Amino acid sequence: MKARYWVCLFIIGCLAPFLIYPVFVMQLLCFALFACSFNLLLGYTGLLSFGHAAFFGSAAYLAGYLMTVAGLTPELAILAGTVCAGLLGYLFGTLAIKRQGIYFAMITLALAQIVYFIALKADFTGGEDGLQDIPRGKLFGLINLETTYRIGHKSLELNLYFFIFILFCLAFWLIHRTIHSPFGQVLKGIRENEQRAVSLGYRVERFKLLAFVISASLTGTAGAMKALVLQLASLTDVSWHTSGEVILMTLLGGLGTVLGPSVGAITVVTLQEKLSAAGSWVTVIIGAIFVVCVLAFRRGFVGELGRLLKKSL
């Protein structure tokens, strides 16, 4: 994509909190980052993980815990969440990567369920209640993220918003760079023809493992960001529903496209928000949309658009 499109998107991101409820935009950014990290694995390496909620949730819990109990500043809490998710990703990856296809997915699911169980039973996670009212604290100990600015009749959390937005941009850039790096080329090769990549002398398991760790780490960043934004870390964050939801977001937006996962995440989270009055019908409606999407445009929103414009988006 051309630089001017990126500039447009950046400007939209800067203006968004003035037009839409900022916490909601931040929530969108967290899930968009989650889906982008997931796409690095499924879209560019061809690995279907069914346990990504483990990374998302454990980072949310850890960041929340460190901010509440240890009084850590937000940037350190997010860093800790990222590292924790990365280490967990290394563990999951080491155990799962030797398996292919559905077996890989099942192992990641099983491991994620163990994390869920720990979150349910351990003391520091707050069990069914989760961690609530996580303080947002002061960025670098200086900038108060609780501060709101009155503009018109609205009060906006702009400090927090721009911190989250910049963090999202950095993480998004890192994913984009990874995809378009020498390493990313090898990942595409593995996705396209794993046997051939092996016969060219690539030890594909190591490449897959690194991709898995990068994906898990950035998923952790997204999870920790979410804990900071919603001031909440709960069992939902580590449940398999969340693992499924991120797959849905990625497929809906467009697998293996740069913008697809973000579009998918925005669609799903917005629908959940707007339809929340409909209660459990939300799941049915989103399910129906997904079915229509799979039948009508298999490449996802962005994938189909890219095909029409003959561009890779």
List of residues contacting other proteins (CB under 8 A): 174, 177-178, 180-186, 188-189, 191-193, 195-204, 206-207, 210, 214
300 three-class SS:
helix
Minimum Å gap between C-beta 16 and other proteins is 29
Closer to other proteins at the Cβ: 99 or 177?
A: 177
User: Whole-angstrom Cα distance, residue 192 to residue 1?
Assistant: 22
User: Whole-angstrom Cα distance, residue 277 to residue 279?
Assistant: 5
Closer to other proteins at the Cβ: 204 or 228?
A: 204
Would you say how long the chain is, in residues?
313
User: Whole-angstrom Cα distance, residue 12 to residue 8?
Assistant: 6
Closer to other proteins at the Cβ: 125 or 215?
A: 215
From the centroid of its chain, how far is CA 62?
16
Q: Which residues are bridge partners to 132 per DSSP?
A: 232
Closer to other proteins at the Cβ: 39 or 125?
A: 39
DSSP symbol at 46: -
User: Whole-angstrom Cα distance, residue 133 to residue 231?
Assistant: 5
What secondary structure does DSSP assign to 66-106, as a single string? HHHTS---HHHHHHHHHHHHHHHHHHHHHHHTTS-HHHHHH
Closer to other proteins at the Cβ: 80 or 175?
A: 175
Burial class (CB in 10 A: 0-12, 13-18, 19+), 189: middle
Closer to other proteins at the Cβ: 195 or 280?
A: 195
